[in-house]
């Protein structure tokens, strides 16, 4: 206590007050937090969860759609619901860009949003609705859970070209994947963990037929794809290189079950995309894959959840940035 002498009691008090003030100003416009709506819309999270629990059991395939939509949202301009904007005039929006392919479920999000709007008009963002719907629908189908701090606000801009530039294509190699994830603040471990979402859902043949029919332009197959698996896909699913309509389960036989199936397939050279196969082409990422396969589902779920939470924080708009959209497809006028 004596040491305080020169600085003085009031000096110390001011210093502490300063620290408290600085940190509260910082967090006021820079951070998400758990239960952000607990005062402004106490029922918000429950409304979302109830709707998901009531409807997702009838359409479990939407869980895959939502987690992919959330990933696409976060990788383009941050998790700000830019993926949900409809094209009105000018450049096409993200949801109209080629990587959208199978994105569905916009109407589901719109219905959840209108329920939340009815309870608390203008309070809960579409970005948070999408993030919560994603987590809750993965949980409703027996997958991992994770924390969803809230307080995201909605962006005003959505551009098709930015989706193309920021989303990794299915033919990306490990260096491209690493670079694209790193520019979002995600590391190699996050890349390996998050790619495991391909344990659920489906892909169109057109996302990978080059691997079956014309890998290097000489009518050849991708040597990184198991030959028997390729033969099977060609005979039963993707009968030509130009098939753009047939859908294939990425983890055959368990497309609605979140498990370690994806990683076991990778080790058998049965990952569907080059980007999946790429994860075993590099010693560091292969080590991660092996670690996951040798571990428990419980451990994987916990680690996957941590990476999802991290992804959900990418470039978020908080405080007074952006807006709370009234309708998820349109910016407020």
- Contact residues for ligand NAG, defined by CB under 6 A: 86, 95-98, 100, 103, 213-214, 217, 219, 241, 327, 329-330
DSSP H or E stretch at residue 301: helix 297-311
According to the binding rule CB under 6 A, does residue 71 interact with ligand HEM? yes
Give 154 or 190: the residue with its C-beta nearer to ligand HEM.
190
Task: Compute the least distance from the CB of residue 75 to ligand NAG, in Å.
Answer: 16
The annotation status of 309 as a binding-site residue, yes or no, is no
Q: Which of 177, 238, 324, 328 binds ligand HEM (CB under 6 A)?
A: 177
Q: Which of 32, 44, 56, 67 binds ligand HEM (CB under 6 A)?
A: 67
According to the binding rule CB under 6 A, does residue 212 interact with ligand HEM? no
**Helices H / strands E in the chain, number of each:** 14, 2
* Residue 201, binding choice from ligand NAG, ligand HEM, none, Cβ under 5 to 8 Å by partner class: ligand HEM
Is-contact 205 238, C-beta < 8 A?
yes
Residues facing residue 330 across a β-bridge: 327
Q: Which of 65, 82, 131, 160 binds ligand HEM (CB under 6 A)?
A: 65
The window from 61-69, 120-128, 151-159, 227-235 that contacts ligand HEM (CB under 6 A) reads: 61-69
Residues facing residue 327 across a β-bridge: 330
For residue 172, what are the CA distances in angstroms to 35, 197, 233? 37, 17, 21
According to the binding rule CB under 6 A, does residue 77 interact with ligand HEM? no
Two structure tokens written together for 15: 């210093």
Residues in binding contact with ligand HEM, number by CB under 6 A: 24
The annotation status of 162 as a binding-site residue, yes or no, is no
Is-contact 300 260, C-beta < 8 A?
yes
3-class SS of residue 330: strand
Residues facing residue 150 across a β-bridge: 33
3-class SS of residue 29: coil
Residue with CB nearest ligand HEM?
201
Give 206 or 327: the residue with its C-beta nearer to ligand NAG.
327
3-class SS of residue 38: coil
According to the binding rule CB under 6 A, does residue 172 interact with ligand HEM? yes
| Other Cβ atoms closer than 10 A to 269 | 18
* Residue 168, binding choice from ligand HEM, ligand NAG, none, Cβ under 5 to 8 Å by partner class: ligand HEM
CA proximity to 72, closest of 134, 6, 156: 134
> Catalytic annotation on 70?
no
- Binding site: what residues are annotated? 73, 76, 78, 80, 82, 94, 168, 198-199, 251, 259
> Which residues are part of the catalytic machinery?
72
């Amino acid at each position: 206590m004596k040491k305080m002498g020169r600085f003085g009691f009031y000096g110390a008090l001011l210093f502490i007050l300063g620290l408290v003030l600085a940190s509260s100003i910082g967090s006021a416009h820079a951070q998400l937090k758990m239960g952000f709506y607990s005062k402004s819309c106490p029922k918000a999270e429950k409304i979302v969860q109830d709707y998901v629990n009531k409807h997702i059991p009838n359409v479990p395939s939407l869980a895959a759609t939502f987690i992919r939509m959330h990933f696409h949202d976060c990788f383009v301009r941050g998790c700000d619901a830019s993926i949900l904007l409809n094209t009105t005039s000018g450049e096409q929006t993200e949801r109209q860009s080629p990587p959208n392919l199978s994105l569905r479920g916009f109407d589901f999000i719109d219905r959840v949003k209108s329920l939340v709007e009815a309870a608390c008009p203008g309070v809960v963002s579409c970005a948070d609705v999408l993030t919560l719907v994603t987590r809750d629908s993965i949980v409703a189908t027996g997958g991992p859970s994770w924390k969803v701090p809230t307080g995201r606000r909605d962006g005003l801009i959505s551009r098709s070209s930015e989706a193309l530039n920021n989303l990794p294509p299915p033919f990306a190699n490990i260096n491209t994947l690493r670079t694209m994830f790193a520019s979002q603040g995600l590391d190699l471990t996050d890349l390996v963990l998050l790619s495991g979402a391909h344990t659920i859902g489906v892909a169109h043949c057109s996302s990978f037929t080059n691997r079956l029919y014309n890998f290097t332009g000489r009518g050849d197959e991708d040597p990184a794809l198991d030959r028997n698996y390729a033969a099977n896909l060609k005979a039963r699913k993707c009968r030509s290189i130009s098939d753009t309509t047939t859908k294939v389960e990425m983890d055959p036989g368990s497309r609605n079950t979140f498990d370690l199936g994806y990683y076991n397939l990778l080790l058998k050279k049965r990952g569907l995309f080059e980007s999946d196969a790429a994860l075993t082409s590099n010693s560091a990422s292969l080590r991660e894959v092996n670690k996951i396969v040798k571990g428990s589902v419980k451990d994987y779920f916990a680690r996957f959840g941590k990476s999802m939470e991290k992804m959900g924080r990418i470039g978020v708009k908080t405080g007074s940035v952006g807006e709370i959209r009234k309708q998820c497809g349109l910016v407020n006028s």
